Amino acid sequence: MSLKLRKIAFLLFLGLLITGCGSDSNGIGMGTLSVSLTDAPACGFEQVNVMVSKIRVHQSASAGENDGGWAEITLTPPRKINLTSLINGALDDLGQTPLPAGHYTQVRLLLIANSQGQPLNNSVVPTGGPETPLDTPSAVQSGIKLIHEFEVSADTLVDLVLDFDACRSIVQKGNGGYLLKPVIKVIPMIVSGKIVGNIDPTLLDDHPVIFAEQEGNVVKSTVPDSAGNFILLPLQQSSTVGNYDVVIVADDHATAMIQSIPVTAQGTTRISDSTNPISLDDSAAHTVSGTVDPVSAEATIRALQTFSAGPTMEVRSVSANLLDGGYTLTLPMAAPSLGTYAGSLPIPLTADPSLAGTYQIEASADGHVTQTADVDVSGGDAVQDFTLAP
């Protein structure tokens, strides 16, 4: 074949390739969905293991597990993932799949339940304890349903992160067992950024945790590495959801908050560094304990504080025990400190003495009216019981 004919043949082939690329057999443009998994720190556990088998997506929020129209990312073989390893910005790539262009509204994460034999598919390892089965409700086998709307355009990649909050997802059953009550957010990476910083290394032995919050609700949390560095990722850009407050807690120390921190898509906002690390005042601690009725409500209890300057922060939270509804929160007595992000370091932190040892304790559960009570632990341990009305 002559050089001219070979060029013509190549151009015809290229034209056919371009025409077919990005479309399915019905001429609908095709995009690609990529899904990753990350986690918040799992309080009180060395490991939280889940066996992931599939991620399914559908254009209808009401689609059932047996309806048509599902697209899937299948992990072959299914993967046992230790969620506690996915902190400080770490992501576990679960895979990708082509998707017809369009509007999608439902994501499902499918786990494989434990069987009678070993090894365990889903388990926890409490700090200093043995591996223990993690019970997964029957609904988990059909997929943890996550309502999240996203758009797929032809020839584009949609990158979603499933942010699995292991600490809030593990409920103690009271008989030594644990139940998975999944708390998962779906976050698009394309419109997300991160907040980074350093804490004083002297805090590292006191179990520090760093929260990104909005209006007193935890959005993301992490723990620092061995040098005191921390990364809060992914966080949706502030132009979409507003600025963030970062709250730092540690055992035997007062709490600190830095408010009004902006996040830009694909950007990094630094709030401290190794020269100007965040430090916390020493503090003794007392407990708030009690019970939440009904036990079957699977309640969450939070300790909140509202600064004189306005912002509210969550300091600690815990799930009520499923055996007796009991809970215990250990809270600092010393005054918390507040700083405001202004774009330069260091960020000054000023204590608010009016809040020393005083908290608003909140009990909430799905299908029940949330209750709150003002509690003062400055003089010793306190007891606060709740009865939640439907």
Closest Cα to residue 197, out of 125, 277, 287? 277
With contact defined as beta carbons under 8 Å apart, do 188 and 236 qualify?
yes
Nearest to 104 by CA among 73, 71, 75: 71
Is residue 38 within 8 A of residue 93, CB to CB? The reply is no
pLDDT at residue 200, rounded to an integer: 97
At 1 the pLDDT is: 46
| pLDDT averaged over 10-residue windows placed end to end, the chain, 390 residues | 41 38 58 90 84 93 90 93 87 92 92 85 89 81 84 91 87 81 89 96 95 95 93 94 97 97 96 96 97 91 94 95 92 98 96 97 96 96 96
Whether residue 212 contacts residue 218, with contact meaning beta carbons closer than 8 Å, is answered with yes
CATH architecture of the region 285-387: Sandwich (2.60)
> Both ends of the chain: CA-CA distance in Å?
81
Pairing of strands 157-165, 184-188: antiparallel
| Residue 40 CA neighbour count, 13 Å, CB half | 24
Contact 166, 84 (CB under 8 A): yes
Q: Where are the domains of the chain?
A: 28-182, 285-387
Q: Which residues, 6+ apart, have CB-to-CB distance to 153 below 8 Å?
A: 29, 31, 101
Closest by Cα among 89, 94, 82, 76 to 37: 94
pLDDT at residue number 138: 67
Tokens encoding 366: 């799905």
User: Side chain identity at 39, as an amino acid letter?
Assistant: D
Write down the pLDDT at residue 219. Answer: 92
Residue-level pLDDT at 17: 37
Pairing of strands 285-293, 382-383: parallel
Using the CB atoms, write b or e for 72-84: b if 16+ within 10 Å.
Answer: ebebeeeeebbbb
| All residues at 6 or more sequence positions from 57 whose CB lies less than 8 Å from its CB, including other chains | 33, 70, 71, 72, 99, 104, 106, 107, 108
Q: What pLDDT score does 183 carry?
A: 86
The per-residue pLDDT for 20 is 41
Both tokens assigned to 151: 């758009």
